[in-house]
């Protein structure tokens, strides 16, 4: 493989990492509060608000059920308004983030639902406010599950970023289509696939390690208490 192709692979890998990292950060910053709202406004919870819960739930379900490639095309005007263009890595971040936010929200909601409600009742009995319950009970207790869920989110984003290459999103997917598929370069196709597999393996390993450490810390804190 020529030095030019190796340079293109390295550049495309950096573009993919950039897209995935920024999208994951945005999805985490907005998805975690979304998940908290989804669980706490549910029936019988600390901030019960059934109309808000159902409305948010419907929006999240609608976003999650839309195939990513259709979402990318459907929001091109919005992407152009936010990023100034509908092509390239910065443009791809917009649909990647929009697709990931509801996914993170549901993952966080599921992780928070696993928290023993007895802990919440104990905190309420001690006079804790809803904000204190969320920040000192719910989120800390659910962190191992949230970390595992965010790992899945990042892996999904890697796959979606490759798909974004189909409409000029940049990154490894774009390289695979322009050089591998359109120019019949099987070696480039294989190289991009292997890089994506390696990237997913690294993310999964790091995510598993972080989740285990958080779980041990949680168990250690509970036994210490």
What residues does each domain of the chain span?
3-220
Phi-psi region of 84 (alpha: psi -120 to 50; beta: other; left: phi over 0): left
Model pLDDT for residues 111-150, shown as the tens digit of each residue: 999 988 899 989 989 999 999 999 999 999 999 999 999 9
Q: Which helix (H) or strand (E) holds 75?
A: none
Model pLDDT for residues 37-94, shown as the tens digit of each residue: 999 999 988 899 999 999 999 999 998 898 998 998 899 899 999 988 888 888 899 9
CATH of domain 3-220: 1.10.3720.10
Q: Residues 193-212: what's their mean pLDDT?
A: 92
**pLDDT value of residue 34:** 95
Top mean-pLDDT range of 1-10, 23-32, 69-78, 155-164: 23-32
- The two tokens of residue 171 are 């990154």
φ, ψ of residue 98 in degrees (nearest 5): -65, -35
Nearest to 8 by CA among 176, 147, 164: 176
**pLDDT value of residue 197:** 92
**pLDDT value of residue 222:** 55
**pLDDT value of residue 142:** 92
Distances 61 to 54, 106, 109, 158, 207 between C-alpha atoms, Å: 10, 9, 13, 21, 26
**pLDDT value of residue 219:** 66
Q: How many Å separate Cα 62 from the centre of its chain? A: 17
Question: In the structure, what pLDDT confidence band is assigned to residue 165 with cuts at 50, 70 and 90?
Answer: confident
Question: In the structure, what pLDDT confidence band is assigned to residue 221 with cuts at 50, 70 and 90?
Answer: low
Mean pLDDT of the chain: 89
């Amino acid at each position: 493989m020529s030095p030019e192709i190796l340079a293109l692979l390295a550049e495309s890998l950096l573009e993919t990492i950039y897209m995935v990292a920024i999208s994951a950060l945005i999805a985490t910053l907005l998805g975690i509060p979304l998940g908290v709202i989804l669980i706490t406004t549910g029936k019988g919870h600390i901030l019960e608000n059934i109309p808000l819960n159902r409305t948010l739930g419907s929006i999240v379900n609608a976003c999650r059920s839309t195939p990513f490639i259709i979402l990318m095309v459907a929001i091109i005007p919005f992407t152009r308004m936010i990023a100034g263009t509908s092509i390239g890595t910065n443009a791809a971040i917009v649909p990647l983030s929009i697709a990931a936010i509801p996914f993170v929200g549901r993952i966080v909601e599921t992780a928070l639902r696993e928290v023993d409600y007895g802990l919440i009742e104990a905190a309420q009995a001690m006079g804790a406010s809803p904000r204190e319950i969320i920040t000192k009970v719910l989120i800390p207790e659910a962190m191992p599950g949230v970390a595992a869920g965010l790992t899945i989110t990042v892996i999904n984003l890697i796959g979606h970023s490759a798909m974004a290459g189909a409409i000029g999103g940049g990154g490894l997917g774009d390289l695979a289509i322009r050089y591998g598929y359109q120019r019949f370069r099987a070696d480039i196709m294989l190289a991009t696939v292997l890089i994506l597999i390696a990237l997913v393996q690294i993310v999964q390993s790091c995510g598993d390690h972080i989740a285990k450490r958080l779980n041990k810390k949680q168990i250690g804190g509970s036994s210490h208490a």
